[in-house]
Amino acid sequence: TPTDGIGDIPAAHLVPEDVALYVGVSLDPDGAPWQEAFTLFERLGVEDPLGGIREGVEADGEVDWEAEIEPFLGGAAVLFVSRFDSGDDEPLPGAVIFEARDARAAEAVILDRRTDTFSEGAYEGVSYRVMERGGVIAVMGGYFVYASDEETLRAIVDARQGRSLPLADSDDFRRLRNALEGDALAFVYLNPGALMPKVRGEADQETEEAPPDLLSIVGLDALFERPLGVVVRADGGGFSLQAAMLGDPGPIVPLLRPRDSRFAAMVPAETAVFVSAYDIAGVVDDAFGSTGLAARLRAAVLDEAEEADGLAAIEDLLALLDGELAYALWPSADGEDAEIVIVAEVDDDREERARDLLGELFAEPLEVGDLALSIGDGIAAIGSSAAAIEAVRNGSAPSLARSERFSTAVARLDAPLATFAYIDIVRLLAPGEDDLEGLNLDGDGLGLIVNLVLEDDRLQVEAALTAGAD
């Protein structure tokens, strides 16, 4: 079993190389990943997490944990789907593989639960059972295999015995595995090309050419043509998710460049939601430019727009946003409402143009109520109140960037910040309270951060759920 990259990848040497989806999950409650997860749950006030799971499973009296669950534990479970183009009445081809504490006992549990009969077969020295109502089961060493059909079972045997290339040895799988480091609760490998067909229209009868799909029009087709990997980890400080994509991110590259957030250091420390992106103008120029397929998309949007002038004003405004653009929300002073500010960097020589465009777009009152607008000193801001905008512009109060909760969340990320979103879950869902129902945070916060960044020419997505002190 391969051990580089994120470590032991469960049963990847039994999985055929050309699968559409692979999901590996640790099933070792005594292993480091789950012990770290249990520590986090206990920190959040959940007593004896594993005992609680066992109690829930045995609650109805129909399942015996020791006899029917424990044989499957001690290693990992793998689910893979070969393809997603089977008929409506046919099960998806694939399998579930358990690296089990006792593979023979796991097989016995399934046979005892099944009420149908089976026939026996063998392939390359591996005996298996074909169930009357569907499914093929086998034991291969320490692995219990439940496959959808005989063809899939034989493909597993071929991969394990070296007659075909296993997923563990494929170049794309190795690249993703090595890009996502650390012991994992779960690892997911997805091949979008095999997952579903491209969404394309019918071919024109005269040209015999199909119209391009939406991803092609906006330049993201190359991003979703290559596989992606996702790893889920846990430690005492929180859960984290890290994803890497091998495809070319194309027009969204401007959003993915690492940089420091100016506005995170200006919005108040009690900010509950903060989203930051950079160089929207670059994305708009690449995805909705004046040439090729992008021009066709823009023309189609304009054709459907009720007011082409309004859309043009939005496009002109976005073209000014070649710096940071951020959204911030925090509880108001009375705790009953929220203050909201959208703030952007604007070059001094473009401030007048920005003022004209915003005035054009917001000439009529909006349903959400009156908005405050402020442009000057290289910053354009729209807010729920003048006081909210001033709180950001002034920046004299403690800022989000200096808060313990935000710093704890950022520290959980492996890559530098680029385009990211941060949510203080407690402040968002229970403003003014230290705890959420059912969770005992003992003064800690509960923060979620998601970051999109370009690392080694790959789009990498990281997310972390953290419990950090104020």
The pLDDT assigned to 203 comes to 46
Mean pLDDT check: name the lowest of 4-13, 28-37, 222-231, 297-306: 297-306
pLDDT-derived band at 181, boundaries 50, 70, 90? low
Q: Helix (H, G, I), strand (E, B), or coil: what is residue 22?
A: strand
Cα gap 58→27, rounded to integer Å: 18
Every domain of the chain and the residues it spans: 12-179, 249-469
pLDDT of 330 over the 90 cut: yes
Mean pLDDT check: name the lowest of 9-13, 108-112, 367-371, 377-381: 367-371
pLDDT of 71 over the 90 cut: yes
The pair of three-digit structure tokens given for residue 347, joined into one six-digit string: 């070059």
Residues forming a β-bridge with 26 = 76
pLDDT of 367 over the 50 cut: no
DSSP state of 268: B
pLDDT of 413 over the 50 cut: yes
Give the mean pLDDT of 87-112.
89
**100, 97, 134, 94: which is closest to 114 by C-alpha?**
134
pLDDT-derived band at 343, boundaries 50, 70, 90? very high
List pLDDT tens digits, range 425-460. 888 876 555 555 555 555 556 889 999 999 887 899
The pLDDT assigned to 88 comes to 65
**Crossing angle between the packed helical segments 32-43 and 49-57, to the nearest 10 degrees:** 100
- DSSP string across 384-441: SSHHHHHHHHH--SPBGGGSHHHHHHHHT-SSPPSEEEEEEHHHHHSTT-S--TT---
Q: How far is CA 313 from CA 59, 150, 335, 374, 383, in A?
A: 61, 60, 36, 18, 20
Give the mean pLDDT of 8-27.
88
Give the mean pLDDT of 32-49.
87
Total Cβ atoms within 10 A of residue 347 = 12
Between CA 450 and CA 457, with CA 451 as vertex, the angle to 5 degrees is 145
**327, 389, 313, 379: which is closest to 351 by C-alpha?**
379
pLDDT-derived band at 49, boundaries 50, 70, 90? very high
Mean pLDDT check: name the lowest of 148-152, 244-248, 392-396: 392-396
* Rounded (10°) CA dihedral 350, 351, 357, 361: 140
List pLDDT tens digits, range 223-261. 777 899 999 988 767 888 999 888 888 788 889 999 999
pLDDT of 172 over the 70 cut: yes
pLDDT of 295 over the 70 cut: no
**1, 21, 10, 65: which is closest to 229 by C-alpha?**
21
The pLDDT assigned to 268 comes to 94
Q: Helix (H, G, I), strand (E, B), or coil: what is residue 139?
A: strand
What value does the CA radius of gyration of the chain take, rounded to a whole number of Å? Answer: 27
Cα gap 143→105, rounded to integer Å: 11
- 302: amino acid identity, one letter: L
Which carries the bigger pLDDT value, residue 286 or residue 199? 286
- Model pTM score: 0.79
Strands 136-140 and 126-131: antiparallel
**Crossing angle between the packed helical segments 308-318 and 351-361, to the nearest 10 degrees:** 150
pLDDT of 74 over the 60 cut: yes
Residues forming a β-bridge with 468 = 445
Cα gap 460→449, rounded to integer Å: 14
